[in-house]
Amino acid sequence: MNDGFLTIDSVTVRYDHYVAISKISTKLALGKFHVIMGPNGGGKTTLIKAIAGLVAYEGRIEMDGLDMKKYLKKHPIGYLAQRGAQFQSFPLTVYQVVEMGRYRFKESRMVRKEHVMRYLQEVKMTSLAKRPISELSGGQQQRVLIARALATESKLMIMDEPLTGMDPRSQSKFYEMIERIKQEHSLTIIMSSHDIGFTTAYAENVFCINKHLVPHSEAAKLLKEPEIRKLYGPNIHLVEHHHLSSGEEEDV
Amino acid sequence: MFEFLSLTFMQHALLGGELIAVVAGIVGPILLFRKMSFTSVGISHGAFAGIALGILIGVSPMWAAIAFAMGIGLLIGFVSKTGKISEDATIGTFFAFFMALGIFLIDISKGYHVDVMGYLFGNLLAISSSDVYFAAIVLLITVFWYLFRGRATVYSTFDEDFSRIVGIPVDVDYYFFMLVVSLVTIIAVMFVGVVLASSIMIAPSAASKMLSKKFSNVVLFSILFGMVAVFGGIAFSFYTNIPSGPSVVFFITAIFAISLGIKWSRNFVKS
């Protein structure tokens, strides 16, 4: 499966008369970590929702040669939406949130519990299993949602700006965890992000959209300003900074 | 002290009222977390138009109200889903219309003496054994729905997109939920009237939401608070000779106020 591609072929999404993305075509190698970049309103979330089958689209999306709509009927995908307000007030525990990922599986309560605890273990959250998700920090909530995505046993994980609101240390830990679970589960990961620095350090492929696909080459070249200006406009300037790895102590 | 329990009409009132407290306690928290608290108001006012139509055409007002309530529940859901507007906006548009329609239909029902106040504010003490049977049937339907679709409906309330991805039929579940809410609202209308029905549907859930951080506990407390309010309200109404519906609503509101006080105290201690 990892030799195949997720093919996006001339995909257009309209909300009534508003065109959110137009004729986007690209091929994403399975088993890799892909990042979608682009300005706010550029269509990143819309493209992610189209891949996840959550919005209607024109064009074609194929997973390893199989039409995505047919693929989704048989295989759930791991999906992390932008965090919404419901996480702040809904009285579900961490365990119950991860349990959602097991919905399709016909299994006994005991077997389900084993799976849920195993995936919580993978994101180092077993000790918080009984805590309401609303009481966790943003970074901890994202780890729970990753455990939920893993619980679907999908080979494709899609994440919509999962790093929003995280400090640099948490972002660094997040990327390291993503890298680890990608290897352990042979995952294909598609993520949208605004963070150019971390993205270019960790992603194996970056593609940029601003309603249309913006031509690009390798991730590292994104750091050159002309490429960035294509996306974010002429007034953008890059400032270099050092990323802490999760083991490093922060210099205050 | 509890001599009122020996009276048959009080037994009917208590039994019927407690059944409503249980079904309202089951669906209320989901209404609350979906930000659809106003739904029971829309359905109950729509039911009033059904009652009026039943009187006009000479069929049982309650059966006409049940049919109307279910139709309105589905209509609110359909208009909200397809028009991409919130349920509360849809209800705000429709409920005054249905109330006006009800008044109009009653006005043209010449030759009938209609107790409009009875329908608007209900009379728990006039509950018959057949009303209690009907409430028991609604309880069975609600429990059946909760056992089979409750978990999925809670999931789609929490995260609709992820629920779709894992294969939950979100839209079908939504319409089933609206039908169950319609049935629960209609028995609340039968017992406490059109105007007070939404109190028994929502206030116990709102009170329990303030005290618990687990969904199952919110449901449990919601049922418990409703049952306590019904018992207290009916007993209070018996001894003070005030109308039973408002008496129950007073107790529910008192429980809400106590929960709010506990929540404030907790926040104060934390800070």
Tell me which residue in B33, B162, B218 faces A100 most closely, judged by beta carbons.
B162
Whole-number Å distance between alpha carbons of B252 and B91: 24
The average pLDDT across B240-262 equals 92
The average pLDDT across A208-221 equals 69
Q: For residue range B34-50, what is the model confidence (pLDDT) as tens digits?
A: 988 888 888 888 888 88
Contact A28, A34 (CB under 8 A): yes
Determine, for residues A90 and B163 on separate chains, whether the beta-carbon distance falls below 8 Å. no
Same domain as A202, residue A125: no
Confidence of residue B94 (pLDDT cuts 50, 70, 90): confident
Residue B48 CB contacts under 8 Å (≥ 6 apart), including other chains? B65, B98, B99, B102, B119, B120, B189, B194
Same domain as A227, residue A170: yes
What is the per-residue pLDDT for A222? 61
Same domain as A204, residue A104: no
The average pLDDT across B226-238 equals 93
Contact B183, B231 (CB under 8 A): no
Task: Give the DSSP letter string of A13-77.
Answer: EEETTEEEEEEEEEEEETTSEEEEE--TTSSHHHHHHHHTT-S--EEEEEETTEEHHHHHHH---
Q: How many domains does chain A have?
A: 2
Whole-number Å distance between alpha carbons of A192 and A163: 9
Determine, for residues B165 and A91 on separate chains, whether the beta-carbon distance falls below 8 Å. no
Distance from CA of B189 to the nearest CA of A (A): 29
Same domain as A88, residue A63: no
Same domain as A88, residue A35: no
Whole-number Å distance between alpha carbons of B105 and B125: 27
Same domain as A161, residue A137: no
Dihedrals phi, psi of A63, to nearest 5 degrees: -110, 110
Q: Which of A39-53, B105-119, B219-233 has the highest mean pLDDT?
A: B219-233
Residue A244 CB contacts under 8 Å (≥ 6 apart), including other chains? A168, A169, A172, A250
The average pLDDT across A205-212 equals 84
The average pLDDT across B167-171 equals 93
Least confident stretch, B42-46, B139-143, B254-258: B42-46
Prediction ipTM score: 0.82
Residue A236 falls within a domain, yes or no? yes
Element at A5 (helix H, strand E): strand A5-15
Tell me which residue in A76, A77, A132 faces B213 most closely, judged by beta carbons.
A132
Residue A71 falls within a domain, yes or no? yes
The average pLDDT across B55-65 equals 85
Tell me which residue in A52, A84, A132 faces B165 most closely, judged by beta carbons.
A52
Q: Residue A8 forms beta bridges with which residues?
A: A26, A61
Q: Which domain holds residue A94?
A: 82-153
Contact A157, A187 (CB under 8 A): yes
Determine, for residues A86 and B218 on separate chains, whether the beta-carbon distance falls below 8 Å. no
The average pLDDT across B228-238 equals 92
The average pLDDT across B128-150 equals 93
- Name the nearest CA neighbour of A172 among A250, A94, A61, A70: A250
What is the per-residue pLDDT for A252? 26
Same domain as A91, residue A65: no
Same domain as A216, residue A100: no
Residue A48 falls within a domain, yes or no? yes
Residue A238 falls within a domain, yes or no? yes
Residue A179 falls within a domain, yes or no? no
Whole-number Å distance between alpha carbons of A166 and B124: 54
Same domain as A54, residue A2: yes
Distances from the Cα of A4 to the Cα of A42, A87, A188, A206, angstroms = 27, 36, 11, 18
| Residue predicted with more confidence, B41 or A95 | A95
Determine, for residues A54 and B164 on separate chains, whether the beta-carbon distance falls below 8 Å. yes
Residue A86 tokens, joined: 């419901």
Determine, for residues B165 and A101 on separate chains, whether the beta-carbon distance falls below 8 Å. no
CATH code, domain carrying A245? 3.40.50.300
The DSSP symbol for A135 reads G
Average pLDDT, chain B: 88
The DSSP symbol for B149 reads I
Residue A151 has pLDDT above 80, yes or no: yes
Single-letter residue type at B231: F
Confidence of residue B225 (pLDDT cuts 50, 70, 90): very high
The rounded percent of chain A whose pLDDT value lies above 70 is 82
Residue A215 has pLDDT above 80, yes or no: no
Question: For chain B, which domains are there?
Answer: 9-197 (1.10.3470.10)
Q: Residue A201 forms beta bridges with which residues?
A: none
Determine, for residues A92 and B158 on separate chains, whether the beta-carbon distance falls below 8 Å. yes
CA dihedral B78, B83, B89, B95 (to 10 degrees): -50
Which residue in chain A has the smallest CA separation from B156? Answer: A100
Same domain as A250, residue A163: yes
How many Cβ pairs closer than 8 A exist between chain A and B? 63
Residue A38 falls within a domain, yes or no? yes
Distances from the Cα of A181 to the Cα of A74, A147, A157, B233, angstroms = 23, 10, 11, 57
Which residue in chain B has the smallest CA separation from A72? Answer: B165
Residue A50 falls within a domain, yes or no? yes
Same domain as A109, residue A97: yes
Same domain as A167, residue A135: no
